[in-house]
């Protein structure tokens, strides 16, 4: 059988969606990422971004990136393990460790690569990784790369988690891994109970805080700070592509664990290091987060404003405490139609369909930025209401 046969099958589905002019992917931005962008030659309110604190367009962040290119050039041309470590890599890691209250931090070239690199290094054939069923795809792939046995528990179901932990032989190393804030639904892991069960069954805890860093906790330190459990989480993973307005990822843990991963993680050892501009943009964003904690409160305020406004309009949403507000559309084609109609009205949202959701539970994933205005929200929520009304009338 031709190995490319699967490509032809996929093309048939894509062709049908494109012919209906409801293909929702790869829309090009004609401006930088911000609360309002230019797409399809028109101004568009962006409520599909992970630019939670609005720092991608901050002058201080931009200037830091420009200065880094002038001093260090455009790239590092090698792995951190060999010639690709700059003094600013070390500075960023030190500053993140201090901010998160961990002994050490190491950085990876992307957030996805961070989970691959951490999990494949920490877990091996004699270990068991226990993960929430709604964990990010990068966690799933990292578990596969690790050769550890991978067991899943039902989403945020602590009884199922305990039953899973009970089933693991005592001679196995155990790592419980969970998203802090779940990227599709916006809900938060039950970290207090996860920590309690980890202690009871001798497990370690890793939190993927890609969507929690800069969002949760009084100072934006993430899910562990949100629950007052910063000393109880063994590994914190995070990304630079969201609140830190850059590109890359990191692991925060004890010095011993970080040093171990640095020397055995193949995704880390065999990848080029983060570019100078990305490093300095992330450092500048971190300085702003420390200096301006009011941005975190502004993010909560605007997210709550939108959440309450949608509910008042009768829009069916998934409740959460985060800037991620998913809106039910249920069917795939209706989801694509909704995205098209909203974009035509100057509002960008993300379609979420299986396998990212269960069948029949398709969503519009909306997410908000600290620098959005109430005027932005008022317009967007009205357009969402009107488009959902149109969907109800479709056969």
- Among residues 221, 262, 271, 269, the alpha carbon closest in space to that of 110 is found at 271
The burial class, CB within 10 Å (0-12 / 13-18 / 19+), for 345 is middle
Task: Mark whether 376 is an active-site residue.
Answer: no
Q: Annotate 64-107 with three-state secondary structure.
A: HHHHHHHHHCCCCCCECCCCCCCHHHHHHHHHHHHHHCCCEEEE
Continuous H helices in 238-392? 255-264, 266-269, 276-291, 294-312, 332-344, 374-392
Strand partners of residue 129:
150, 175
Known active-site residue 136: no
- Of 58, 89, 211, 334, catalytic: 211
Q: Which of 49, 114, 183, 367 is catalytic?
A: 183
DSSP 3-state assignment of 133?
coil
Helix H or strand E segment including 39: strand 36-39
On whether the CB atoms of residues 2 and 11 are closer than 8 A, the answer is no
Tell me if residue 270 falls in helix, strand or coil: coil
Contact of 326 with 365, CB cutoff 8 Å: yes
Catalytic option among 242, 334, 372, 376: 242
Question: Is 242 tagged catalytic?
Answer: yes
Q: Which residues are catalytic?
A: 183, 211, 242
């Amino acid at each position: 059988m031709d190995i490319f046969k699967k490509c032809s099958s996929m093309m048939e589905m894509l062709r049908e969606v494109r012919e209906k002019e409801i293909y929702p992917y790869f829309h090009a931005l004609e401006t930088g990422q911000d609360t309002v962008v230019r797409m399809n030659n028109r101004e568009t309110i962006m409520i599909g971004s992970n630019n939670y604190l609005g720092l991608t367009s901050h002058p201080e962040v931009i200037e830091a990136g420009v200065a880094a290119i002038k001093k260090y050039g455009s790239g590092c041309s090698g792995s951190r393990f060999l010639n690709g470590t700059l003094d600013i890599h070390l500075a960023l890691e030190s500053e993140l460790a201090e901010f998160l209250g961990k002994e050490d931090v190491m950085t990876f070239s992307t957030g996805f690569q961070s989970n691959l690199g951490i999990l494949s290094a920490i877990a091996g054939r004699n270990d068991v990784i226990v993960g929430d069923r709604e964990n990010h795809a990068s966690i799933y792939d990292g578990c596969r790369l690790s050769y550890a046995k991978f067991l899943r528990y039902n989403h945020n179901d602590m009884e199922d988690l305990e039953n899973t932990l009970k089933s693991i032989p005592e001679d196995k190393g155990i790592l419980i891994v969970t998203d802090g804030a779940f990227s599709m639904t916006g809900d938060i892991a039950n970290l207090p109970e996860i920590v309690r069960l980890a202690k009871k069954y001798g497990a370690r805890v890793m939190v993927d805080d890609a969507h929690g860093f800069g969002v949760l906790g009084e100072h934006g330190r993430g899910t562990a700070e949100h629950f007052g459990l910063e000393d109880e989480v063994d590994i914190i993973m995070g990304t630079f592509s969201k609140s830190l307005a850059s590109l890359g990822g990191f692991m925060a843990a004890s010095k011993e664990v970080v040093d171990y991963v640095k020397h055995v993680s193949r995704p880390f050892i065999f990848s080029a290091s983060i570019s100078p501009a990305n490093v300095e943009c992330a450092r500048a964003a971190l300085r702003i987060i420390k200096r301006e904690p009011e941005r975190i409160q502004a993010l909560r305020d605007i997210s709550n404003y939108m959440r309450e406004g949608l509910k008042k309009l009768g829009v069916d949403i998934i409740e959460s405490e985060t800037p991620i507000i998913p809106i039910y559309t249920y069917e795939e084609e209706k989801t694509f139609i909704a995205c098209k109609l909203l974009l035509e009205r100057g509002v960008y949202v993300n379609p979420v369909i299986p396998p990212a959701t269960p069948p029949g539970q398709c969503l519009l994933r909306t997410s908000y930025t600290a620098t959005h205005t109430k005027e932005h929200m008022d317009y967007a929520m009205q357009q969402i209401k009107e488009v959902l009304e149109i969907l109800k009338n479709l056969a």
